[in-house]
Structure 1
Amino acid sequence: MRALVVVGLLAVLALTFVVVAVVRDSQSGVGAAKGCPDGWPLADVTLHEPKDVKINVLNATDEPGRAGTVADDFRNRKFQVQKVGNAPKGIDDVAVLQYGPKGVGSAHLLRAYFLDNAESKYDEKRTDDVVDVVLGNGFQQLATTTEVNQSLGDLGAPVAPPGSCPAPAADK
């Protein structure tokens, strides 16, 4: 009987501690745009699902039709492919991801599909939420679902690029 009283007392103390910690949470506004310098763009750092990600697939390789094949792969993975076309040749990397403040979270997801081997090019003046996926000569194939999940775990959460602030959830 004495053990039940001790366990019950410990449970009440733990519950009280949790309630006090939640009520007195001083980090509720951390990561939001509070204290953001004037003129800095607000970056959407939400990690989106593929169905909510808009992309343009551009071919900068020597292989004709590569963008169409990769665009079909992205469509099969539920991405919203907006445009398919060519880009100036000469990219030796796997891919280059070009995006603005509204595409930060989407680009973060796409990095996982290239196992973090894609170069990121952030343009603070870009106003759309579309990410340009420019395929380079180093590209072979998109990662599998398992590889994407592992890569996302390694990448962690999306962060606002230098010169931008994370947008509060209500502003996205």
Structure 2
Amino acid sequence: MSFARVRALVIVGMLAVTALVFVVVAMVRDTQSNAGAAEGCPEGWPHADVTLRDHKDVKIRVFNGTDRPGLAASVGDDFRNRDFQVEKEGNEKKQIDGVAVLRYGPKGVGSAHLLRAYFLGAAALEYKADRPDDIVDVVLGNNFQQLATTTEVNQSIGDLGAPVAPPGSCPMPVDN
């Protein structure tokens, strides 16, 4: 072997060892290993389920917050056709000015995030920390036109990002 070839092998070997040392140091000093876990959660705060749910796993109640008769039933049917579990349809006592309001508790954070995409991010969120169930109440408002298409929902989910725990709650611990 020539001297040039030996020198090249020594340099490549040193670069490989240096890269290995950097990887090991980065893994040992990683401070984000528990990112997203509920460690450090204040006592008494609820654990929010921030898992983005599949349509078939989302339970909803649809309420009409407008003066348009039959709107809750119509939108409830639309949600059923998209494989949501529609528990109830009815009328809201007061009228809603916006597109929609989503009311949910700690167990419904991921479900509400998915539903928000069906309103292209225009639905107002009402988080109730003491709500024990995973059902999301969808209250339709006067500015509601129609639910988004599948393509629009997928784009909206991308725009909205991942679900996050609402203020006053912590993300649910993840089992590894």
RMSD over equivalenced CA pairs, Å: 2.3
Which of 112, 119, 129 is the matching residue for 1:114?
119
Instruction: Report the CA distance between 1:136 and its aligned residue.
Output: 0.8
- What secondary structure, in the 3-state scheme, does the structure 2 residue paired with 1:81 have? strand
Aligned twin of 2:106: 101
Aligned twin of 1:44: 49
Inter-partner Cα distance in structure 2 for 1:106 and 1:78: 13
Inter-partner Cα distance in structure 1 for 2:123 and 2:100: 5
Structure number with bigger Rg: 2
Inter-partner Cα distance in structure 2 for 1:9 and 1:52: 53
Q: Deviations over 1:98-117 (max 9, x none)?
A: 00011111111111100011
Aligned twin of 2:153: 148
Does 133-142 or 10-19 show the bigger shift? 10-19
Which of 55, 61, 72 is the matching residue for 1:56?
61
Inter-partner Cα distance in structure 1 for 2:160 and 2:56: 20
Q: Structure 2: which amino acid aligns with 1:26?
A: T
Q: 1:73 to 1:36 in 2, by over 3 A?
A: same
Q: 1:15 to 1:142 in 2, by over 3 A?
A: farther
Number of residue pairs the alignment of both structures matches: 169
Inter-partner Cα distance in structure 2 for 1:85 and 1:138: 18
Task: Check if 1:76 corresponds to 2:89.
Answer: no
Map 1:127-146 → 2, pairs under 5 A: 127-146=132-151
Inter-partner Cα distance in structure 1 for 2:154 and 2:12: 40
Inter-partner Cα distance in structure 2 for 1:80 and 1:136: 21
Instruction: Report the CA distance between 1:21 and its aligned residue.
Output: 4.7
Inter-partner Cα distance in structure 2 for 1:36 and 1:94: 34
What TM-score does the superposition give when structure 1 sets the normalisation length?
A: 0.86
Inter-partner Cα distance in structure 1 for 2:92 and 2:43: 35
Inter-partner Cα distance in structure 1 for 2:77 and 2:20: 52
Which blocks of at least 5 consecutive residues in structure 1 are unaligned? none
Inter-partner Cα distance in structure 1 for 2:157 and 2:139: 20
Q: Percent identity?
A: 72
